Copies of this chain bind each other. A is one copy, B any other.
Amino acid sequence: MAATPLFRRIDVAPAYQKVADAIEREIINGRIKPGEPIGTEQQLVAQFGVNRSTVREGIRVLEEGGLIRRDSSRRLQACLPRYNKLATRLSRALILHEVTFRELFETSMTLEVASVEGAVERATDENIAELAGNLERSAAVVGNPAELAELDAEFHVLMAKASQNRVLQLAREPAAQLFFPTTEMIVGGVPEGGARLIEAHRHILDAIKQRDKEAGVLWTRRHLQDWRRGFEKIASLDRSVEHTYMEHAYAARQ
């Protein structure tokens, strides 16, 4: 720490970055609310006094960050960042860091248990109805690993939603996005895999209905341990989430 700095640190960020920062500030501190228009590119050009190309680069930054989007008619508006999109970025990062399935499993175990605890405490009737709907649809496709895996992922998303904790919802999503795509392989590869999965879901839902935290935690643990056993028949937990595997997960995104 220099004593009494003589000069202020000079700011040499490129113009497009300053444009993005300026708009971001307005959104973050609430002067522009989600859903409200940002203005046309022409207006931004006039306000910032920079070229349209520069404005557009700034817009791309904000768009990728999820802070703004184009509505049906391509006009710019502020918006709430979608968990899904953010989580995709994170999943991507985890893949590049070559994390192992053990890390994913351990973290998911923690977060899913927290999730079910929250759901047991705070699930609304509507949450329970959604979970019940999911369970019903799952039972109908017990023999179809692909569809069952998708419904399994949805079940866990609904459970996190039922916990009424949005921080938890966001925190669990990246791991889940990487974790659940393997479900298909596992359900398909284990005899009675589909049936066991649905049984676990049923017990979890019952526990949430009964507000029975212990049962909820117990069956969530079992459910994930089942996944683990299935996975270990295929590969080591210490294998890293691979690049090639990612191509799957990516094809599914919109």
Is A170's CB under 8 angstroms from B93's CB? yes
Name which of A57, A104, A172 has the most chain B CB atoms within 10 A of its CB.
A57
Q: Digit string of A10-33 for contact with B (CB within 8 Å is 1, else 0)?
A: 000000100000000101111000
- Shortest Cβ distance from residue A172 to the other chain B in the assembled complex, whole angstroms: 8
The answer to whether the Cβ of A61 comes within 8 Å of any Cβ in the partner chain is yes
Complex Cα gap A25–B57 (Å): 21
Using an 8 Å CB-CB cutoff, how does the interface string of A167-190 with B read, 1 for contact, 0 for none? 110111011000000000000000
By the criterion CB–CB under 8 Å, are B166 and A96 in contact?
Answer: no
**A106 contacts which chain B residues (CB < 8 A)?**
114, 118, 165, 167-168
A21 to chain B, nearest CB (A): 10
A93's partner among B64, B86, B118 (CB-CB below 8 A) is: B86
**Which one of B67, B166, B250 lies within 8 Å of A28 (CB-CB)?**
B250
Mark out the residues of chain A between 70 and 91 whose CB falls within 8 Å of any chain B CB in the assembled complex. 80-81, 83, 86, 89-90
> Which stretch from A36-44, A136-144, A208-216, A241-249 is at the chain B interface?
A241-249
Number of copies: 2
Smallest beta-carbon distance A248→chain B, Å: 11
The verdict on A154 contacting chain B, using a C-beta distance below 8 Å, is: no
At the interface, yes or no: A97 with Cβ under 8 Å from chain B?
Answer: yes
Contact A165:B103 (CB < 8 A) given known A111-B171, A171-B171: yes
Does B111 contact A93, Cβ atoms closer than 8 Å?
no
Q: A28-B96, A30-B243 are in contact. Are A110 and B168 (CB under 8 A)?
A: yes
In the assembled complex, which residues on chain B have CB atoms less than 8 Å from the CB atom of A167?
94, 99, 103-104, 106-107, 174-175
> A89 with B103: in contact, given A175-B171, A246-B28 (CB under 8 Å)?
no
CB of B64 within 8 A of CB of A65, answer yes
Minimum CB distance partner of A96 in chain B: B80
Q: Please, how many angstroms separate the alpha-carbon atoms of A96 and B172 in the complex? A: 19
**Closest 7 CB pairs between A and B?**
A81-B93, A110-B114, A107-B167, A60-B60, A64-B64, A30-B243, A103-B167
A-B contact pairs, 15 of them (CB 8 A): A25-B250, A28-B96, A29-B247, A53-B56, A56-B57, A57-B60, A65-B89, A66-B89, A81-B89, A94-B166, A94-B167, A94-B170, A106-B165, A167-B175, A171-B171
